[in-house]
Amino acid sequence: MPDGTFFSLRQVTKRFGTLTAVDGLSLEVQRGEIFGLLGPNGAGKTTLIHCAIGLLEPDGGEVVLSGGNPREPQVRARMGIAPQVLSLYELLSAEENLSFLGKLYGMEGRRLAERVAWALAFVGLESRRRDAVKNYSGGMQRRLNLAAALLHDPEILLLDEPTVGVDPQSRNSIFENILALKREGRTIVYTTHYMEEAERLCDRVGIVDHGRLLSLDTVQSLLASQGGLPRLVVETGGREIELFSADPLGELNRLAATAPIDRFRLEQPTLEQVFLNLTGRTLRD
Amino acid sequence: MSAILALAAKDLRLLIRVKSGLFFAFVWPLVIAILFGAVFSSGDSGSRRMAVALADEDQSAGSRDFAALLAKSADFNVRPASRAEAIGLVRKRQEAAALILPKGFGEASQQMFHGTPPKVEVWIDPSRQAEGAMIQGLLFQIVMKGFQKKMADTGAMRASLRQSIEDVERSKAPADQRASTGRFLESMDRALSEMPAASGPGGGGQGAQWEPLSIEQHDVAIQQEGPRNPFEITFPQGLLWGVLGCAMAFAIGFVSERTHGTLFRLQMAPIGRVQLLAGKALACAVACLAIEATLLAIGRLGFHVVPHSWALLVLAGVSTVAAFVGVMMLIAGLGKTEQAAAGVGWAVMMPLAMFGGGMVPLAFMPRWMAQAGVISPVRWGILAFEGALWRGFSFQEMLLPCAILLATGVVCFAIGTRTLRLT
């Protein structure tokens, strides 16, 4: 494994009957980064995550976490996951959920109580710790899902669509949590089909479709290499002119010299554009 | 091990939180046991007569009169039999008591206020002391009725008295005793000649010490061939319903863990598949044992459901739980969703319960139905409990049902864990 690489997938393939969900995909995640897996629903992100955590055995290729195979329990214990499907016991309270999970990770006594208290405080649920989870809002359940992933202090965190169905307030809270974890130096793999989330949070992004990795780079590099030119829209003399240019300011000056400009706007390339350019369709197709 | 215990504790906590599951696991089996037991009991109580077998070894006029009075009595339901048959019926609990009228009963019954009174042997289960005392009281009542009848018939009464006077004169009793009894009987005779309709036993002197009936009570060693009360049939049924309901609840709960994603989280934890399944099995087993213990405690304290062997009862309980933990795993393996697991589970378990004696007691089942029931673990579970409660099984006799239950558990558990999808 190269220096700095913490987690790697090498030529991973996973098939379900005739469907190839992951098709020879390779990527490496660096220690301390937030790595985004961006792709539409059904692109193979969740299958890839399940292979990465050792829940599914790849039909081909291998998964390596800092020298170990996640299918081994002691290696898997170094990972934390917040699955897309909420994995909580609704009839138990937040505290009971976390205490139970902590025991599965070998915690007990004071250490368990401290970790439970920390995790609940981290996601802002300490005041509701004794309430049954079924009485929580969707956003609170998502936050508890994150707390469950963090409880055992994992080295790497895999967050599978952690903001699905969440209100804006809880979404912001989750973003702040994730950024705080990054500041602590935690390695995070973040899957989403919301490009704005990837842009806001991720250091590097891998774009996945049909089980294949289409592109992988920093957000800025992807935007620069695959996003196309910035789009300048100018209104003049009752007409709207659209221009794609690497020098939008120069174009704007040239237009202003020929006719008065009523209004203009500049649109920078987005990951949505990157995905469109790479696949010919939008993320939400 | 701590992970297994944590898994089991979590599942038990969830079981307690689901009120409907708790109801069907604990309350419903109790309702079945008590309700059906009460129904069967009320069938018995339609006749308040005490069932007795009567052996008339004397075959005299006096003994036949006494037998006729017994047969007419509203307190007894009399079945004529020989001595051996009568005692055998008590031994098999088919009659409450055996009444034997030995040779000499009729002759003794003719003696009034002197001599040896007529003797009745009462053979009864020593544990039925209250019924024994009741029978004695009722027999005295019947004898007194016979006495009243004689007193009302002055002709017959005077004939009896004359016979008694002659008997007393011929007897070898001390002279003063013969004289006082003779005077008493003479005075009775005179009184009867003056008041032909006089009734009721009277007298003094020796007559005051004389008893109209001598009852000799004997214990009968009971041969356990039937339940002591209907609850001994219905509680095993209730136990099986409880265990079955519990197994179903855990099977559906297991599938629910998969569909709701919590199983995914469990698999992410550093525990193996074996630990995960062991935790589930342990929780189910503990819950089933708790149900069994609760029902048996209620049966023992409130409904006289008493095992003939506590050790065999434990063996029956553990074997039944083992079988149904396996069944739980099999159903969890077969059902892809909660609805499918419930559908498949009840579709399989209802016929097994029906043919296994969960609805109709094994003893009342048509022969073909009872034979078909051998494929049902419910039948073997009920048989094991009945064996420990009232069938009087020996350890060797318990081996068959318990071995079948354990084998069922192992096979179902193995198939269930192989077919179980954790993802």
Residues B125-135 pLDDT 10s: 876 777 778 88
Task: Give tens-digit pLDDT for B229-252.
Answer: 888 888 999 999 999 989 998 999
CB B132 within 8 Å of CB B122: yes
Fill in the DSSP letter of residue B99.
E
Of B6, B10, B270, the CB nearest to A74: B270
Cα R_g (chain A), whole angstroms: 22
Strand B76-80 relative to strand B50-56: parallel, antiparallel, unpaired? parallel
Residues in B touching A76 (Cβ below 8 Å): 268-270
Of A76, A88, A108, the CB nearest to B268: A76
Of B262, B264, B269, the CB nearest to A105: B269
What confidence score (pLDDT) does residue B204 get? 39
CB B407 within 8 Å of CB B377: no
Residue ranges of chain B whose CB lies within 8 Å of a chain A CB: 2-3, 6-7, 9-10, 13-14, 17-18, 260-262, 264-272, 423
Inter-chain touch B264–A96, beta carbons under 8 Å: no
Q: Which of A89, A134, A159 to mutate to test the interface with B (most CBs of B within 10 A)?
A: A89
Query: Given a cut of 50, is residue B205 above it in pLDDT?
Result: no
> In angstroms, rounded to a whole number, what is the distance separating the alpha carbons of residues A80 and A115?
14
Residues in A touching B13 (Cβ below 8 Å): 92, 96
Of A56, A87, A100, the CB nearest to B6: A100
What confidence score (pLDDT) does residue B209 get? 55
What confidence score (pLDDT) does residue A3 get? 58
In this prediction the pTM is 0.68
Cα R_g (chain B), whole angstroms: 32
For chain A positions 86-115, those within 8 Å of chain B (CB to CB) are 86-92, 96, 100-101, 103-106, 108
**Any idea what the Cα angle at residue A169 is, between residues A166 and A170, rounded to 5°?**
45
Chain B residue with CA closest to A51: the answer is: B268
Of A56, A81, A88, the CB nearest to B268: A81
What confidence score (pLDDT) does residue A33 get? 92
Residues in A touching B7 (Cβ below 8 Å): 104
Which of A193-207, B16-30, B104-118, B207-221 has maximum average pLDDT? A193-207
- Region label for A54, one of left (φ > 0), alpha (ψ between -120 and 50) or beta (otherwise): left
> In angstroms, rounded to a whole number, what is the distance separating the alpha carbons of residues A134 and B27?
26
Q: Which of B12, B262, B265 to mutate to test the interface with A (most CBs of A within 10 A)?
A: B265
Please count the other Cβ atoms lying within 10 Å of the Cβ belonging to residue B278. 18
Cα atoms in the Cβ-side hemisphere of radius 13 Å centred on B180: 12
**Tens-binned pLDDT, residue by residue, of chain A (285 aa):** 555 677 888 999 999 988 999 999 999 998 889 999 988 888 888 898 888 888 888 999 988 887 788 888 888 888 899 988 888 999 999 999 999 999 999 999 999 999 999 999 999 999 999 999 999 988 899 999 999 999 999 989 999 888 888 888 888 888 999 999 999 889 999 988 888 888 889 999 998 888 999 889 998 888 888 888 888 999 988 888 888 888 888 988 888 888 888 999 998 888 888 888 888 776 655
Chain A residue with CA closest to B260: the answer is: A87
Q: Confidence class of residue B152 from pLDDT cuts 50, 70 and 90? A: low
Residue B82: C-alpha distances to residues B85, B102, B345 (Å) = 5, 11, 54
Which of A145-149, A228-232, B63-67, B256-260 has maximum average pLDDT? A145-149
What confidence score (pLDDT) does residue B232 get? 86
Of A87, A90, A104, the CB nearest to B3: A104
Q: Kindly list the strands in the beta sheet with B50-56, ordered across the sheet, starting from the edge strand earlier in the chain.
A: B76-80, B50-56, B97-101, B119-124, B214-219
**B114 φ/ψ angles, rounded to the nearest 5 degrees:** -155, 170
Chain A residue with CA closest to B10: the answer is: A100
> In angstroms, rounded to a whole number, what is the distance separating the alpha carbons of residues A165 and A260?
46
CB B98 within 8 Å of CB B220: yes
Q: Which of A87, A144, A155 to mutate to test the interface with B (most CBs of B within 10 A)?
A: A87
CA torsion, points B147, B150, B152, B155, in degrees to nearest 10? -160
Residues in B touching A81 (Cβ below 8 Å): 265, 268
Please give the residue that has the higher pLDDT: either A103 or B75. A103
Residue B283: C-alpha distances to residues A90, B5, B143, B325 (Å) = 19, 8, 64, 9
What confidence score (pLDDT) does residue B41 get? 64
Strand A19-30 relative to strand A5-16: parallel, antiparallel, unpaired? antiparallel
Residues in A touching B4 (Cβ below 8 Å): none
Mean pLDDT on B304-317: 92
Chain B residue with CA closest to A87: the answer is: B262
**B98 φ/ψ angles, rounded to the nearest 5 degrees:** -110, 130
**Any idea what the Cα angle at residue B8 is, between residues A103 and B326, rounded to 5°?**
140
Residues in B touching A92 (Cβ below 8 Å): 10, 13-14, 17
Inter-chain touch A103–B6, beta carbons under 8 Å: yes
What confidence score (pLDDT) does residue A110 get? 94
A9 exposure class (CB count in 10 Å sphere: 0-12, 13-18, 19+)? buried
Residues in A touching B264 (Cβ below 8 Å): 55, 83, 85, 87
Of A50, A91, A101, the CB nearest to B265: A101
Name the nearest CA neighbour of B129 among B219, B52, B248, B250: B219
What confidence score (pLDDT) does residue B224 get? 57
Inter-chain touch A74–B13, beta carbons under 8 Å: no
Task: Give tens-digit pLDDT for B2-61.
Answer: 888 998 998 888 888 877 777 877 788 888 778 777 776 655 444 567 888 999 999 988
Name the nearest CA neighbour of B327 among B260, B237, B417, B400: B417
> In angstroms, rounded to a whole number, what is the distance separating the alpha carbons of residues A98 and A94?
6
**Any idea what the Cα angle at residue A125 is, between residues A121 and A127, rounded to 5°?**
95
Residues in B touching A73 (Cβ below 8 Å): 269-272
Summary mean pLDDT of chain B: 82
